[in-house]
Structures are given as C-alpha cells and as structure tokens.
Structure 1
Amino acid sequence: MNYCKKCVMPDTRPGIYFDEEGICQACRAEEQKDITNWAGRQQELEDLCNKYRRKNDGEYDCIIAVSGGKDSHFQVHYFKEVMNMNPLLVSVEDNFEMTNAGKHNIKNISERFGCHLITLKPNLKAQKAIMKKTFEKYGKPTWYIDRLIYTYPLHLAKKFNIPLIVYGENISYEYGGIDRNETFSAKNQINNGVASDIPFEELLDDQITMNDLIFCNPPTQEEINNLEPIYLSYFVRWNSYANYIFAKKNGFKDLTHEWVREHTFENFDQVDTAAYLIHPWLKYPKFGHASATDYASKFIRYGLINREEGIRLVKKYDHKVDQKALKEFCDFLNYTFTDFYKIVDGLYNKEIFEKDKFGEWVLKNSL
C-alpha cells in the first residue's frame, strides 16, 4: 500500500488515481476548487433551473434525493431558498432501527424547508435475503439499499414527469474513484462502484425474484436520456463539514449525548441507523481503510487538521468495529458474532494484510 503524501488515503481505494508527485486525485480535486469559476457555475445552474422551472404553482420543479443528513439539509436549502425551486423530496429507508437523531432529522428536513417527502420502505423479507447473499459473497451487505438510493428517484422522476433530479456530490470525483471526470451530469453514477458490479441473476433464488428487484433496475437508457440527474457539487463548492455546520444551525441533530461511536472520530455523518455502519467498515478488510481514513483525509483537505493528526486518528479508529452497529446488524440478519467474524475473516485482502502472533489481521504496510 502507498499513501497520498498530502492526506492519508491509500492507493487501494477502488479506482483512485495518484499523480507523479504521489498526490491522490481527491486532494487535487480540492485544490482545483480554488481556481474554479464558481460565479460561472452558478449561472449554469440558474440556466438549468430556468429550463425546468414550472409555470404553474404547486407543480414540482425538481426531485431531490435525500436521507435527512447534513448534506441533504444543504441541498434542500439551496434549491428551495437560493434557487427558488419547488422540490419533491425522495428518500429510501434501510429498515434498520433508527437513532433518535435519525428520526428527528428526516422530520426536520420536511418541516424546516416545507417540502413533501416520499419515502420507499423496501420489502423487508427481500432486503434480509439479499443482504445475506451480498454480504457473504461480496462483502456488500447494503447493496440493495445503496442501489435503490440511486435508482428509485429516477423511477419517480419518470412517473411524475419531473426531469430534474438533484444528488449531492460526485463521489468518484470528490473522493477518488473510477468515474473521476468532473461533470454536472449524474446519469452515469449507478456505475460508481457503490451499488454496481452485482449481476441480478446471481441474486435470484427461491426467496428473491425480479419483482423484489424492480426498483433496482433503472429506467431504460432512452428514458434516462429524457431525465436530467445532476450533482449539486459541480455548481457549488462542496464541503461536507461546512454542510454540517449549516445543517446544525437549521435543526439537524448529530449524535452528541446519544452515542459515542468506536469506529470514527466524528459524530455527524451517517447518523441515521447503527447497523448500516457495518457497510463502510467493511472497506477495511477489503481495502485497508475505512471511515476514519475517509474523514481524516477530508479534514486535511479542508485545512481542519494536519497530516500527522490524520495519521494518529486513522491508527486509533480505522480498524475498530463499533459494537452497537455490530449487534444491530447481527440481530437484523440473525447472525451470531461468530457467524459475522467467520464471514469477515474470508474477506481480508491477503495482499495487504497478515495475521500477527495473536491471530489478529494487521496491515503489512500501515501509515
């Protein structure tokens, strides 16, 4: 493993690119923001909104894919209060037990900004069956939910004839990934690696049918070509910490006084449910980094900490599995902890991990 010389991201992140100076593409993308013509991008967004703004009161101008999180609060604010659009909010629940903060935030985003919200609560039986299969074979337990987050808004846009669909940031461009070209169009985001790469036919069995996957299948390419899914991060300088500060001033609740998480040092990202957090932790056995690396790298790029502090945080948190998250995940799928660790043991990437004298997996080349 090699690490970015500016942040703490390793080159094992799928699709990430390091330049000849040893700097990762996410750090270069953040530097590029200093010379981007944001006034010009704002005018582009004005033109786009004017193209899709409805003339009649009560008609929706756009759909915004939301979770209730910090970024969702910023997105809704920007389109409702800055761009003067009338958005329909669309969310996908993961069926896990929600935190108090999560319950509050999804209500707050509707009440604070005065928006209707449509939520898909997926087939619980199918979700459990699919989760087990994608976890045990691919180490991707939330594939079903993650894919729906991308595809369900497209289905509603088609159904209600609302072409403009707003997503937050282009993950591949902002943080490093295969599709790293900067573009406002989100038409190709289903292929960003988060919720792709699993053929439907491998999931079908006596418990799982195509009917269970109906919303996972995006509309046809011809239908998508008639839609306009976009990334807000192309038009507005994206900063997840700044979004948190804004959201907190507008009623968003983090996990302060509710839950001190063991796997990371921040308390404001992915706060809706505990069990979901097993998904981002599973990057660790597969790629040697997890949530602490992600946020330490962001904080370094934002100028909030230096690289030495980032290294300390990664060493302290990245390998840890949060026990509350683990218990709720195992309870949801009826696993014992032994079952869970046996599956995870088979996911460790032996090119970058080895076992120490105590039988624990450790990185061969850590920071």
Structure 2
Amino acid sequence: MVSHDGYRICSNCVMDTTDSKITFDENGVCDHCRDFKENVLPVWHTDERGRADLDKLVAKIKQDGKGRDFDCIIGMSGGADSSYLLHVAVKDYGLRPLVFHVDGGWNSQIAVNNINVMIDKLDLDLFTEVINWEEMKAFQLAYFRSGLPNIDVPQDHAFIATLYNFAEKYNVKYILNGGNISTEVVRNPLEWLYYGTDMRQIRAICKLYCDMPLKTYPFSSVFRHKILLRYFRNVRVVKPLNYFPYIKSQAMQFLQDEYGWEPYPQKHFESRFTRFYEGYWLPKKFGFDTRKVQFSSLILTGQMTREEALNKLKLPAIPEEDASHDFEYVATKLGITVDELQKYFEQPNKCYKDYPNQEFIYNFGAKFLKMIGVERSIKR
C-alpha cells in the first residue's frame, strides 16, 4: 500500500522509499529482495561445498605464506564480524594473520577492550596505525561543511588505505575480510553512503572545505587497490564468513562466552563517531536509517522477523538523552562549538552528484567484473 505522501515499504523486508531508487513488484516485494533471491542465493554456498572451497583456499593461503612472518592480513575493529573472523582464522584454520587496527581517534572503550581480549587470548601481536588527529579532524570537518550524507568517509578511507598499505609493505597476498552476505546482503543505497574511495570527490571536498593539507593521511585510489594491487601484485581479498553458516547472534554469544567480548547496541557502533553518524546524523538530517539495511539483510537470511525489525525501528537508534550528549561530545572533540555543529546540521543537504565524482568508473568496473564472472552484482 502507498500512503498519501507516496511513502511505501517492502512487504517482505523493511526497505522503503527513503531509498529513492527502490522498486516494487506486483506483490509489493522490493528489488533488494528480488536481487537476493535471483542473484545471490543461487551462488551462495554455506554447506559442504562451501566448506570444501574454504578448505582449499586456506591450504593455498598457507602454501603461499610459507617462509613469511604472516600468511594473511586481518583488520581488527573490535566489531563482531572481524572478531569472529579472527577466531575462525586462528583457531579453526591455523592461519598466521598480521592483525592490524586503525586508530582514527574515535574508538569506544568497549572496542578497545574487545580488541585487547581477542589479541591476548589468541596470543597475537597487534599492529596499530594511528592517524594524525589534526588531519583527521580537518578532514571530518570538511565533510560536515560539504553537506554530504557520508561524513564517515575520512574514517572508512583510512581503514581501507591502511589495509592495502600493510599488504604491500609486508608482501602479504591475502586480505581476510569480515564482510559477509549473511548480515550485509542488502547494501546501503549510494545516495546514503557513496563510495569512500572516490578520490576525485575526496580531492574536491578537501580543496573546498579542508583547513589544512593532509600530508600524512593514508590515501588509496580505487585504481590502486582494485586494479594495481589485485591484478598486478596478486593481492586477494577473501571473505571466509561466506563459506559456512554465519549466524550473528550465535557468533556474538560465542565471543562473549569464549573471550569475554562485549556486544554493541548496533552494528558499527564500535566507533564513537560512527555511532553518532549512523544513529543520529543520517536519520535526523537526511532521513536515512541504516538499520533498515541491516535488519533487511537479517530478514532475508532468516535471522530476524519483519515484525521484530518494524518494532525496533519504532525506537530511535540512539535514545534522545544520549543523542544530546553525543552531539556535544562530537563538537568538543572536533574543536568546534555546539552552535557550529548545529549550523552544519541545518545547512542544505547535498548529494554526491553535487560534487565531482567518478561514479561512471565504478559502474563500468562493476559491469565488466560481473561480465567476466569475477564479482557478483548486488543492488545499491
């Protein structure tokens, strides 16, 4: 059913017309759901076939890693996916990962504790890359001033760039990634979260709004990590959680029991900034609630009912009293007044299309890789 103002929600998941490009069939089922059924399920194997494929892949990783200090790299955020991946890699498969963490200045105390308990109990070393705070702060303020939704680009890009920098520096050919179909099969629409590696747009934002040159911040173009490192340096990204049943609630319970790991109120809340950004800034300023994407993924993979999701969405991601505190905390940490942050909140909203971008390159690359069977296309 369509409301008088044109609002519509999927009859199967909880994606709705806040995704401006969403479409529905005659039964009210959205294209995210249809994409999952038609393009993902047929090629997603979590049974014996998936396990066998993972076993072969692990054997290859170990073989290629002989004589090296590490046979793979894992980025550690303290979140559930990366934490469970680390356990599986070390305990179940005996891999020797280089474990690294990017400190962008916004770690929650829970995240710090979760990283430490995992590293200590698995008897691993942790490599930490600390981003220059003055540059990070200037970069984040530039995105606030831009009016764009995805103000988390400075953190996201630092993580991606550092990941590939470590792979190149230590000559490690395999990057293990906690990304997974089970909890992420529905993707955030581009108008919500545009590509954080579009260097043309990043340069434009920095030129217009950044107060200082970013001399030490780690940048990496999509050409570098998607083409140069992947096809000329043979650096491969592997997502082991896609090869066996990954039920997030069970994984989190296991991590709590086995390691003393602590859960977060919501996915990505291991960062204080991301908590503010996804829990307050996006839904309040732009009307984009990333929980719809997260819950819809869980609905499609049988980990949540639609009714449960709808009930959770009736409540704000961050309670009002906490949101007020977070607003003040973010302003203070960025070195601006609450009034200035409020000014950014009230300024006109912009879309990634309002600034120079390389969307055509991403579209071409996705179509080409899908055509040759290298990557599966998931709707954004």
- With normalisation by structure 1, the TM-score equals 0.76
Q: 1:53 to 1:208 in 2, by over 3 A?
A: farther
- Please give the secondary structure, in 1, of the residue aligned with 2:81: helix
1:4 maps to 10
- Please give the secondary structure, in 2, of the residue aligned with 1:89: strand
User: C-alpha deviations, 1:245-285, integer Å up to 9, x for none?
Assistant: 22222224436xxxxxxxxxx72533434333122133324
1:324 maps to 325
In 2, Cα distance between the equivalents of 1:17 and 1:249? 42
Deviates more, 1:209-218 or 1:42-51: 209-218
Shift of 1:93: 1.5
In 2, Cα distance between the equivalents of 1:252 and 1:27? 36
User: C-alpha deviations, 1:77-134, integer Å up to 9, x for none?
Assistant: 11112222111112212202x4332221110121122222211110111001010001
- Please give the secondary structure, in 1, of the residue aligned with 2:164: helix
In 2, Cα distance between the equivalents of 1:63 and 1:14? 37
In 2, Cα distance between the equivalents of 1:268 and 1:251? 20
CA contact (8 A) 1:276 1:325 kept: no
1:223 aligns with 2:229: yes
Which residue, out of 66, 73, 88, partners 2:98?
88
CA contact (8 A) 1:25 1:175 kept: no
Q: Aligned ranges for residues 249-328 of structure 1 at < 5 Å?
A: 249-254=257-262, 267=265, 269-281=267-279, 282-285=281-284, 288-298=287-297, 300-301=299-300, 303=302, 306-318=305-317, 322-328=323-329
Q: Which is richer in helix? A: 2
- Please tell me the residue identity of whatever aligns with 2:282: K
Shift of 1:329: 0.9
Instruction: Indicate the RMSD between aligned Cα atoms, in angstroms.
Output: 3.4
1:167 maps to 177
- Please give the secondary structure, in 1, of the residue aligned with 2:268: coil
Q: Aligned ranges for residues 10-21 of structure 1 at < 5 Å?
A: 10-13=16-19, 21=27
1:141 aligns with 2:151: yes
In 2, Cα distance between the equivalents of 1:155 and 1:15? 35
Q: 1:329 to 1:178 in 2, by over 3 A?
A: closer
2:196 maps to 195
Q: 1:16 to 1:229 in 2, by over 3 A?
A: farther
Q: Percent identity?
A: 19
In 1, Cα distance between the equivalents of 2:61 and 2:68? 14
Which residue, out of 123, 135, 159, partners 1:114?
123
1:157 aligns with 2:160: no
2:82 maps to 72
In 2, Cα distance between the equivalents of 1:323 and 1:250? 35
In 1, Cα distance between the equivalents of 2:189 and 2:314? 27
Q: How many residues align?
A: 327
Q: 1:153 to 1:26 in 2, by over 3 A?
A: same
Deviates more, 1:75-84 or 1:270-279: 270-279
1:235 maps to 243
- Please give the secondary structure, in 2, of the residue aligned with 1:161: coil
- Please tell me the residue identity of whatever aligns with 1:236: F
- Please give the secondary structure, in 2, of the residue aligned with 1:199: helix
1:44 aligns with 2:42: no
- With normalisation by structure 2, the TM-score equals 0.73
In 2, Cα distance between the equivalents of 1:12 and 1:111? 43
- Please give the secondary structure, in 2, of the residue aligned with 1:9: coil
1:245 aligns with 2:253: yes
Q: Aligned ranges for residues 323-362 of structure 1 at < 5 Å?
A: 323-347=324-348
2:111 maps to 102
User: C-alpha deviations, 1:176-230, integer Å up to 9, x for none?
Assistant: 2579xxxxxxxxxxxx835144332431478433533444446362223221012
CA contact (8 A) 2:149 2:350 kept: no
